[in-house]
């Protein structure tokens, strides 16, 4: 990876690595590492393991301190929703992390760059790399800035389909349904467009690399519209 690309990412995450090799490793998928014949870089899997543990500690500490009356069961459920695969992928995409992942040719050709599982793994690997490079405080700052910020809005996005369904049932507004409008692109990298309807009224639309992702975005748009219209 070109040095300027690494520097560009460091600017986005507001952190400069002392050991740039850790950043390279955090961005390297096993498919890329296996293709390298010389100057082989380790893949991100060990860093992901470490980053996952750091993320669990920091997010648990945050929830414990911010929600003093929340019982253990609800704290566990809340933490799971905040650090689950789709949530981490969403946070990673907000900083364009997928653009910097080093993939092998085969993984690239089959749409790995847009896969939530890979993007979320790299997000955790970045956390692990920062932890090794500078310790828990810098890792904590990264997590608070890019994962634990604006949680109310992120939670609305993560749980959009469930929340919209509850709103529709509560107000008896009609049946909620999602319609697939279009499906474009090659088999390994399709783009789906979905519209959400309550009864016969279109309330939102969304685009994603899976029907589920497109439905989620359509539901999120519908909730934002309802908020503007005075949803309580």
Catalytic residues: 52, 124
Is residue 200 within 8 Å of 207, Cβ to Cβ? no
Query: Exposure pattern of 120-145 as b/e (b: 16+ CB <10 Å)?
Result: bbbbbbbbbbbbbbbeeeebbebbee
Sheet holding 201-208, edge to edge: 176-184, 191-198, 201-208
According to DSSP, the β-strands at 176-184 and 201-208 are: unpaired
List, in sequence order, every residue forming a beta bridge with 22; answer none if it has no partner. none
Question: 3-state DSSP call for residue 173?
Answer: coil
Is residue 15 within 8 Å of 88, Cβ to Cβ? no
Phi, psi of 191 (to 5 degrees): -120, 120
Write the CA distances from 105 to 30, 108, 115, 168, integer angstroms: 11, 5, 15, 45
């Amino acid at each position: 990876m070109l040095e300027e690309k690494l520097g560009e990412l460091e600017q986005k995450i507001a952190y400069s690595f002392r050991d740039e090799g850790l950043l390279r490793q955090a961005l390297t998928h096993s498919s890329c590492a296996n293709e390298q014949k010389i100057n082989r870089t380790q893949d991100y899997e060990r860093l992901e393991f470490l980053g996952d543990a750091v993320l669990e500690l920091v997010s648990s500490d945050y929830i414990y301190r911010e929600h003093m009356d929340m019982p253990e069961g609800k704290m566990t459920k809340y933490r799971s929703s905040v650090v689950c695969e789709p949530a981490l992928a969403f946070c990673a995409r907000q900083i364009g992390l997928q653009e910097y992942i080093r993939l092998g040719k085969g993984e690239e050709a089959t749409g790995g760059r847009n896969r939530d599982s890979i993007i979320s793994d790299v997000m955790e690997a970045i956390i692990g790399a920062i932890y090794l490079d500078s310790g828990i405080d810098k890792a904590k700052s990264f997590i608070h800035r890019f994962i634990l910020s604006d949680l109310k809005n992120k939670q609305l996005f993560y749980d959009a389909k469930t929340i919209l369904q509850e709103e529709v049932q509560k107000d008896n507004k009609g049946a909620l349904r999602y319609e697939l409008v279009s499906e474009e692109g090659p088999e390994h990298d399709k783009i789906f467009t979905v519209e959400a309807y309550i009864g016969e009224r279109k309330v939102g639309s969304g685009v994603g690399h899976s029907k589920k992702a497109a439905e989620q975005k359509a539901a999120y748009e519908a909730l934002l519209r309802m908020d503007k219209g005075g949803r309580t």
